[in-house]
């Protein structure tokens, strides 16, 4: 297997930091959300894809009886350590180290204390702060590496899809309970279940999933960064969750059936019947979530039938709904989508992730990726005076042991 520059740089860093070779190399990809914006926290449907940007971990069990993890981040040029003894102290500061320690903690909770400390080097080429779930990628890679290095008394963590789902749930627990981030399962499933030339559907209530083909040749997945701050997203995300919950509370009070626990249980007919009585804001939020679930279902059908252009149209419709109904777009995101619409090879595009800032993701004809990227950069620069970062990506396989 030909080594990528990322693999080579990780091996060099390990040799420099610890001497010699690691026992295990593991990697896990980033992901993009193609359809299903803000449906996950409403027990809805999502369609995502793993992409060819990844976290890489090199690991070797530490010598001696001291259960200490020595971890180096190449990208951040930081070297940290923590105990992996009987108890791993909690750290909820959200730093990269808290994710590494959190995975170690979750594995210990599931399979007993780690058998030894370890020496680890982490590297990656995932753009940080771009909404590509670098944290879930990091978590998955660390877990796969620790397991493959023989440091847990447990199963092959990525031996089959059932094992991968168990690992995804374990990683979510680490992020929720150790790091203190109230994430769902989407990011962890996406990084573990990806397949080249495929997208992945996930039911966020039942955890049912399916891989669906992106076509042949598979279109490029091009991520465009507005270069605007995502700080606003945190507070607005919580507000949107509250607005969705207010609609759920309304239907729980006004519909005789008491089986409504989330917007997933509200039908389009119910929304139409109660439209006039609903809060002016809440009904728009609900309309977005309900129509977005429908777009995921339609999008999966379109891909199975080879109708990639129709799938792109649904992505653009998703952005329009985010802009007009969920109101989590921004002038910068809208400008970036408009620049993409006028670029060569454009099939569809939308904001990705929480919204309000950050990135768009675009479905682009495979042979038009480079001219598309150039056109978007020029168009956005002309409108805003800012040159966006553009990342030409392809769908990729999920987390695995490289060697």
Catalytic choice (187, 208, 225, 367): 187
**Angle, CA of 37, 40 and 46, to the nearest 5°:** 60
Q: At what angle do helices 161-173 and 96-111 cross, to 10 degrees?
A: 120
C-alpha distance from residue 335 to each of 129, 338, 357, 380 (Å): 19, 5, 12, 7
Q: How far apart are CA 301 and CA 187, in angstroms?
A: 22
Q: Which helix (H) or strand (E) holds 320?
A: helix 308-321
Q: Give burial (CB, 10 Å; 0-12/13-18/19+) of 93.
A: exposed
Dihedral (CA of 58, 64, 65, 69) sign: negative
Spatial separation of the C-alpha atoms in residues 219 and 217, rounded to whole Å: 6
Residue 386, Cβ neighbours under 10 Å: how many? 13
Rounded Cα–Cα distance for residues 223 and 361 (Å): 5
187 is annotated as an active-site residue: yes
Active-site residue list: 187
């Amino acid at each position: 297997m030909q080594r990528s520059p990322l693999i080579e740089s990780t091996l060099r860093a390990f040799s420099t930091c610890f001497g010699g070779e690691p026992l295990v190399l593991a990697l896990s990809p980033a992901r993009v959300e193609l359809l299903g914006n803000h449906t996950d926290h409403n027990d809805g449907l999502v369609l995502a894809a793993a992409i060819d940007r990844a976290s890489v971990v090199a690991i070797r069990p530490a010598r001696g009886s001291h259960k200490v993890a020595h971890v180096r981040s190449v990208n951040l040029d930081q070297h940290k350590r923590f105990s992996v003894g009987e108890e791993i102290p909690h750290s909820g500061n959200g730093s990269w180290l808290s994710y590494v320690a959190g995975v170690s903690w979750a594995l210990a909770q599931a399979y007993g204390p780690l058998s030894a400390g370890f020496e680890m080097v982490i590297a990656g080429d995932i753009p940080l702060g771009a909404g590509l779930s670098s944290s879930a990628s990091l978590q998955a890679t660390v877990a796969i590496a620790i397991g493959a290095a023989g440091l847990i008394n447990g199963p092959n963590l990525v031996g089959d899809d059932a094992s991968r789902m168990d690992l995804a749930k374990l990683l979510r627990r680490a992020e929720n309970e150790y790091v203190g981030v109230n994430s769902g399962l989407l990011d962890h499933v996406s990084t573990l279940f990806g397949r080249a030339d495929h997208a992945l559907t996930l039911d966020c209530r039942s955890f049912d999933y399916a891989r669906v083909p992106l076509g042949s040749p598979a279109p490029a997945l091009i991520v465009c960064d507005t270069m605007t701050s995502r700080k606003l997203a945190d507070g607005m995300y919580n507000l949107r969750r509250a607005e969705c919950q207010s609609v759920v509370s309304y239907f729980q009070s006004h519909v005789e059936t008491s089986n409504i626990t989330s917007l997933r249980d509200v039908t389009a007919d119910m929304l139409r019947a109660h439209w006039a009585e609903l809060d002016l804001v809440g009904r728009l939020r609900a309309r977005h979530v309900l129509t977005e679930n429908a777009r995921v279902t339609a999008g999966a059908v379109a891909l199975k039938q080879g109708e990639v252009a129709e799938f792109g149209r649904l992505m653009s419709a998703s952005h329009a709904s985010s802009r007009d109904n969920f109101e989590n777009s921004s002038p910068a995101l809208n400008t970036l989508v408009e620049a993409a619409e006028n670029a060569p090879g454009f099939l569809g595009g939308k904001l990705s992730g929480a919204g309000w800032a950050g990135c768009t993701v675009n479905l682009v004809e495979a042979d038009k990726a480079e001219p598309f990227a150039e056109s978007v950069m020029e168009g956005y620069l002309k409108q805003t005076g800012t040159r966006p970062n553009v990342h030409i990506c392809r769908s990729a396989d999920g987390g695995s042991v490289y060697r």
